[in-house]
Amino acid sequence: MNWDLYMVLAGCAAFLVGLSKGGLPAIGMLAVPILSLVMSPVQAAVMLLPIYVISDMMGIYLYRRDFSAPNLRILLPAGVFGVFIGWLTAAMVSDRAITFLIGAVGVAFCLNAWLRKNVNAAPQPVHAGRGWFWGTLAGFTSFISHAGAPPYQVYMLPQKLSKAEFAGTSTIVFAVINAAKILPYQNLRPYSLDMLHSAALLVPFALVGAVSGAYLTRRLADVWFFRIVQGGLFVVSLKLMDDALRA
């Protein structure tokens, strides 16, 4: 493997992970595809988990006062339950089918949001049933390939929270989900010292990304923030569908 090319792509992937923890959640889903240019997707997902976990700590600090407590009471246990299901079914689930399904859900959601006539619909309230369904799916798909953003956003975006509250809730939910993935990943795909060392080299990129993401989030107008989030979700969802079809 070309070490220089690896560091460029891995640094870019880590920076995108950091951006997602700074408030632009869909952006982080591009990290695994980028790193997959120099290693297998499975190895890329394993490599990036420590980066996600460390970036989560920065994200929680940046948004420690901005979150939706009612949503957290639903999404945190649901997300951990989704990780548990992913662990139990790791040997039985087709990564290709799940990847395509999640991409299709994300595309359908964005098209519905952009094409519906009643664009000024009232915000949807917190709903335990929908929260558990989409939260569990987010935990499950995050376990499979760090692709938890589409199902999470399908549930959260219709609530029309403030951008800071949306970003903070996202950061806390996925921090807990990523922490729940540590033991299963170690059990299924044990980390080596070389892998941990390589991940450690990427931490500065991720931390810069987290601070940059928070800076952009707090300074973007609400309408542009959610346009960027939805646009990122749409692009990443198309990428997931394309990856599944090419696999």
Tell me the pLDDT tens digit for each residue of 40-50: 767 777 888 88
- The C-alpha torsion from 94 through 129 and 72 to 223, rounded to 10°, is 90
Regarding predicted confidence, which is higher, 8 or 146? 8
**Would you say the C-alpha torsion 142, 74, 171, 180 has a positive or negative sign?**
negative
Residue 244 — very low, low, confident or very high, per pLDDT cuts 50/70/90?
confident
Q: Decide if pLDDT at 83 tops 80.
A: yes
- For the chain, the structural domain boundaries read 3-246
H helical segments located in 63-159: 69-88, 95-115, 128-145, 149-156
* For range 175-182, the mean pLDDT: 93
* For range 100-129, the mean pLDDT: 78
* For range 95-105, the mean pLDDT: 75
Predicted pLDDT at 118: 57
